[in-house]
Each structure stands twice: as structure tokens, then as C-alpha cells.
Structure 1
């Protein structure tokens, strides 16, 4: 099964490599095997280290032991690992290891936000979500080509809009109770700015590849800026900051006094304050 969603016509300059032929449903703008015979998309592959580092930091800085968050951080790490395998091989099975953890993490975020806003929903809610995960896993495992690509994109986008809506509702609710929180506002600005930039360059890389690939006759650039690799960097940044907001409001609605701390003066993490003002790390 050859890729049917290609970023422009960059495939004309692709090389044959260790994992050839490609069987993924999408091929990005980076020329294949241009750097290494063993790595299909070199820069798209190594850029995933940012996602893995962000997931690791979130896991070890989380001020608690709740399994829902442990599972969430684990799926974030799997997204980075799966994306590494996907871009390194451009094989369909490796693509699933990239996309399915994205859906799992988005579903877990939905679960956390719904319960933060409306309280525990009972046993039926996680059962429904588990059935949803099983269904999407089955569908994406047996489909390919355009159907698989656009079904995944629409499903994941819908989950992201659900996350944004619930975060907005929680933000307005808690702000009306406690007043403005400059630290949380900073998290929101960073999440929005990095997310908007990430989506913009993702679309440019997918839709305008022939104008920016650095190798074609229509390219306006003499070198490829590797926008999909930068998408990995900025989307990981956006997701990390959004996760910090989710953690903050999860504890805030339970009256546990969350606090935005800064690692190295810039990287935000969530801490909890004890009744006497001692910081829980």
C-alpha cells in the first residue's frame, strides 16, 4: 500500500532505504533517506525527543500518584516513541503506534476534564470511553489510505476542540471564584501561541511542500526548513502547557491549592501547598 496523502511532490527526490517501500498513509515533506539509509525521515524522527522529554518531566514533577495522570503521561511518552518509529520507517504499523496513543491521551484528557468540571460520572463513563478506545483502535488498524488519514485527523481534532471547550469552562468557573491568576494566564498564552504556530507550520508542510522543499523547481527556498520536525517541537510545547493547566484545575476544583512553579526560571510545573504554606514537591 503506497502512501496516498503526500506532502507535495517531494517523493520525486526520495531515495530507497532500509525500510522501503513506504506503507504509511501519509508521506511528509522531508525527503526520505536523505541523511541516513536506516532512517526514512531523519529530522522528523529525532525531533520527537522533545515530546519524550516533556512527558518525562510531567511524570516526575506531578504532585501525586493518581493513575489517570500516570496513564496520561505514559501515553504522551508513547506518542513520542511511536512518532519516532513512524517517521523512521514510514511503515503503516508504526504509524498506528504514533496515532493511537494520540487518541488515547486525548480521550484520557477528556475523562479528566469532564470529572473536574462535573464530578465523578460513575462506572458507566470510563466503560464508555474504554469502548470508544477499543472501537477506534479496531477501525484505524484495518483501514488505510485517505480513509485512515482523514478519519484520524477529524477524530483527533474533535477531541482537541472538546478539550479546549472544557478548559475554557473550567477557567471561567475558577476565575469567578478565586479571581485572575497571572501564572495560569501565562500557561494559557504559551499553550495557545505554541499550538497555533504548530498547526500553521503543519499545514504549510502538508499543503505547500513543493514551494518549500528546497529541491523542486517550484521551491522558493534553497533548503527545506523541516517544518514537520518543528511541528513536533511546538506541539509538544503546547501539549505540555495544556497539561499543566489541566493539572492545575484538577487540584483547584478539589481545594488542594495548586501552585505554578518554574523550573530553571522558565519551565512550568504544578506544586501543591500544604495548609501551613509548605510546598509539596
Structure 2
């Protein structure tokens, strides 16, 4: 068991040169870039609180768990240990599972599922099975997780077909663009390492960390907005950007123009 905690016990080794900047950190830039999760996650917890308070405070689990994704990612790249790899990948799996449980549109449920509680229980069972089976072929986990991301992107595209709000459409396009750019960095670092080594630029996986956490911030806000329109339409959800809504860039969040009290009056 102890060997699974040892340095470089994982089969995965990213393109960045090992031990280049520290004898205690295997992949320095990949480790440091993981701390972007610690910056974005608390901000998103704060920005999405009005929506979570109205919808379900348990939604805060998603960005709370994203902090652990960053922690386990940093540990994995610092050690390249087998345990670090599994913690990194399984934390992502559980974030996706919680997102499915809370946000998957009820109208897309299988016919034998009638409520969100039953659907959440099904997601829990599938995630537990996936967690156990992931130890059989750890190197395949990352590809499976990206496939799950593709399915989530497909569901969002389907949900937005009837949307005419330009601000929402812009958020959707930005979410997809960031996700595509992030995945491109991940794939290029994985399969074109020799090319980047010749250019002495082996930092694409670290850039992936930064891009993906921003992409998740954009995509989760978009999904939360669509969910709010469907589940709590009385709240009259809208989109704004932090720190300034007039800026071309920023972190998106939901503003609620209506309240539960408004619903009762109607």
C-alpha cells in the first residue's frame, strides 16, 4: 500500500519536465496552476449564493468540492503518485455527479424516473460503481471524464435551442469556447509532447488547469441560469458579470429580480 503514495508511482506523467524547479515538486507549474481553483471557487461560492439560497443551499457543494479538486490536483502533480492521481480524478467525477444530480433537467429523465430524488439516488449508485471500477484501469479515467463533459455540453446545447436572450447566448458561446480551448491544451500536452519539448514550452497542462476552472465557472452559471428559469421562474433570474457588468471579461453570476414573496403575491 505504501508504494501507492510514493513519488512517481502513477502511470501518468505529463509533458512538463520533472523536478525542474524543486526536488520536492515533480511538476512545478502544473502544481502551482492548480491553485487557480482556490482563487475562483470561493468567489463563485459568494456570487452564486443568492441563487443557491432560493433554489437549494446544497448546490454550494459543487464549488466547495471544486476546492478539493484543486487540492488533489496540486498533490497529484507535486508527487505524481498513484493515490494523488485517483484522488484528482475521483474528485472530478464526484463534482460531475453532484452537478448531474442537482441540474440535469427533469424533462430529460428516463421514463421510469418521476422525481429528482430518485434521479439523484440513481446518479449516486452509478457514481459509486464508477468509483470502484476506476481502479481497474486508472489511465482511462481522464478520457471517461472528458466524455461525461461532452454529454453535459450536449444537454446544454439542447436546452439553449429556444433561447433568444443575447446575453445568455454569449455566455453559452464563451463557455463552449473556453472548454474547447482547455481540452485542446489537455490533448496537445498529452499527445504532442515531443513537439512542445522542441519549443521548450511544456506548460499546456498547467494552462488547462486555469482555463478549465474558468470554463466551469462560465458553464455552471449558464446551467444554473437555465435551471432557475425552469425550477424557480418566479425569481426572474438574470445574468451579470463580476467585478463589473460593463467589463468585457469577468466571472458570470445570477441575479434574482423576483423573490419567493413575489411568487406568493402573484
User: What TM-score range do you get, normalising by the shorter chain?
Assistant: 0.7 to 0.9
Question: Is the CA contact (8 Å cut-off) linking 1:113 and 1:167 kept in structure 2?
Answer: no
Match for 1:270 among 243, 254, 262?
254
In structure 2, the residue matched to 1:259 is: 238
Shift in Å at residue 104 of structure 1? Answer: 0.8
Question: Is the CA contact (8 Å cut-off) linking 2:217 and 2:252 kept in structure 1?
Answer: no
Shift in Å at residue 20 of structure 1? Answer: 6.0
Whole-Å separation in 2 of the counterparts to 1:225 and 1:31: 7
TM-score by structure 2 length?
0.83
In structure 1, the residue matched to 2:170 is: 186
Whole-Å separation in 1 of the counterparts to 2:11 and 2:121: 31
Instruction: Identify the structure with the greater helix proportion.
Output: 2
Question: Is the CA contact (8 Å cut-off) linking 1:112 and 1:250 kept in structure 2?
Answer: no
Moved more, 233-242 or 124-133: 124-133
TM-score by structure 1 length?
0.79
Match for 1:133 among 116, 119, 127?
127
SS at structure 1 position matched to 2:241:
strand
Shift in Å at residue 39 of structure 1? Answer: 1.0
1:107 aligns with 2:97: yes
Question: Is the CA contact (8 Å cut-off) linking 2:106 and 2:116 kept in structure 1?
Answer: no
Whole-Å separation in 2 of the counterparts to 1:25 and 1:53: 29
1:44 aligns with 2:30: yes
Whole-Å separation in 1 of the counterparts to 2:155 and 2:229: 15
Shift in Å at residue 122 of structure 1? Answer: 4.7
In structure 2, the residue matched to 1:57 is: 43
Question: Is the CA contact (8 Å cut-off) linking 2:217 and 2:251 kept in structure 1?
Answer: no
Instruction: Output aligned runs, 1:76-91, within 5 Å.
Output: 76-91=66-81
Q: Using a 3 Å threshold, how does the CA distance of structure 1 residues 162 and 68 change in structure 2: closer, same or farther?
A: farther
Match for 1:235 among 204, 209, 212?
212
Q: Using a 3 Å threshold, how does the CA distance of structure 1 residues 116 and 270 change in structure 2: closer, same or farther?
A: farther
In structure 2, the residue matched to 1:249 is: 226
SS at structure 1 position matched to 2:95:
helix
SS at structure 2 position matched to 1:27:
coil
Whole-Å separation in 1 of the counterparts to 2:126 and 2:222: 25
Deviations 1:23-51 (A, max 9, x none): 11210001111101111111000101222
Question: Is the CA contact (8 Å cut-off) linking 1:47 and 1:230 kept in structure 2?
Answer: yes
Shift in Å at residue 99 of structure 1? Answer: 0.5
Deviations 1:198-231 (A, max 9, x none): 1112111111111212xxxxx1x1x224111001
Shift in Å at residue 92 of structure 1? Answer: 0.7
Q: Note the residue ranges of structure 1 that are not aligned, 5 or more in a row.
A: 2-18, 214-218
Instruction: Output aligned runs, 1:137-216, within 5 Å.
Output: 137-140=131-134, 142-143=135-136, 147-150=137-140, 152-173=141-162, 175=163, 180-213=164-197
1:123 aligns with 2:97: no
